[in-house]
Each structure stands twice: as structure tokens, then as C-alpha cells.
Amino acid sequence: MTPHSILSIPTILLFLLIAPLSTTTAAAKTTAVLDINGRPLKTDSTYYILPVSRGRGGGLAMAPKNATESCPLYVAQENHEVSNGLPLKFFPTNPNDHDKIPLGSDVNIVFDAATICVQPTGWMLVFDEATGTRYVGTGGTIGNPGVDTLSNWFAIEKAGSGLYDYKIRFCPAVCIFCTVMCGDVGVFIGEGGTRFLALTDRPLLVRFKKASSY
């Protein structure tokens, strides 16, 4: 359609054409991530991140990358599928979204657990120069979206065939002038068979289970 033909459309018709698109876009941005019971994830609750496919590991926890060093810790999948792993919390960029985690929006993912390492338990992307692998490590802080915290932001996107199936993706939009190498979070088999989380071409499909109070 040429610029002249756009100008020839009556104003009211042009509004009707634009309005549904705007409504759809807004709805997509506000769709909430749901747990396995169909309830929106909340920032004041803790959750387990569990794999959709069972038999290849359980929930998520923290582990060192090799046996000779206890720290730093990386995000890894438990070897036993019956294990829920460690509970986590989610923090969106907008603090007003405390009653939901918007689908596809930037979010901090933080283990709600103590460690022997002197570092935060928030997720962050860590580049391993030796292997070229982009691991999901810990050490990320909460909030302050921008260039200084670019590696700390992840997004939860719909994936898989199940109603409550999702994938986690690294593609932060908190810095509008930054160039980001995006990728899905999947499993990378490390030394000793540890199932570390890293950016791969095959995302790990997950579900969210609310953790019991403790």
C-alpha cells in the first residue's frame, strides 16, 4: 500500500484497523507465566523448575564446574529425576508486576538458598573462553536493568505442546543500544556427566511447581 492510499482511508476506518493490533500486542506482553496448577508465578513465592521430559535429570540446583574448585557455582540439573532441586524466585523489571511474571519479559531468576560461596545466587550468563560455551552461572544481582546488569536477565517463553510447558531464553532487552547474542537455555554435559545449563540449540522444556513453605 502506497502512502497516498493510506491517506485516502477515512480516519475512523484507520482507527479500527489499528486498534485490534494494538490490543493484541498489549495482551501478548501481559500474558502471565503459569505454574503446573494454572496459577500465575508471583514474586513473593518460591518455585521449582522441573523438566517436562522425565528420565534425564530432575530439578535445578547449583554445582561447581569441576571437582577441584568449590566456587563459583553454576546452574545444573539434578541427576535424579525424583529430585525437585532448589527453590527459586523470579523478579521482573517492573516491580509493579509482583502478582505475575509476564511471558517473554526480562526477569531475574534467583535461587532461594544459601551457599558457601561469597556470591549472589541470581542467574547470570558466563562465557567460558576455553570452550566457547555460554554457561548459566550464579552471581547475578536483582534489579537495576541496564547495560551493567545485561547478563543477569532471562525470559520465560511458551514452548512445547503442554499447557504449562515453557523454555527459558537469554535475549535481554534492558539495554536498547546493546548488541546481544541470544539463545535458548538447554543442557550442556560437563565433566563427570554434570548436566549444566548453557545456551544451546536445543532448549530444555520446563514447568514451574510452587514450593512448599519452609
Q: Tens digit of pLDDT per residue, the chain (214 long)? A: 444 433 333 333 222 233 333 333 333 345 999 999 999 999 999 999 999 998 889 999 999 998 888 999 999 999 999 999 999 999 999 888 888 999 999 999 999 999 999 999 999 999 999 889 999 999 999 999 999 999 999 999 999 999 999 999 999 999 989 999 999 999 999 878 999 999 999 999 999 999 985 4
Residue 201 is predicted with a pLDDT of: 93
* Domain co-membership, 60 together with 127: yes
Do 43 and 25 belong together in one domain? no
Number of domains in the chain: 2
Is 161 found in the same domain as 145?
Answer: yes
Residue 171 domain boundaries: 33-210
Q: Are residues 25 and 102 in the same domain?
A: no
> Do 96 and 200 have their domain in common?
yes
* Pair (13, 109) in one structural domain: no
Q: Record the cell numbers describing residue 149, joined without a space.
A: 546488569
What count of other Cβ atoms lies within 10 Å of the Cβ of residue 191? 9
Same domain for 42 and 23: no
pTM: 0.84
Looking from the CA of 26 toward its CB, the CA atoms found within 13 Å total 6
SS3 139: strand
Beta-bridge partner residues of 168: 156
Spatial separation of the C-alpha atoms in residues 206 and 111, rounded to whole Å: 16
23/37 same-domain check: no
Same domain for 13 and 39, yes or no, is: no
pLDDT reported for residue 66 = 86
91 and 24 together in one domain: no
Asked if residue 126 and residue 50 are part of one domain, the reply reads yes
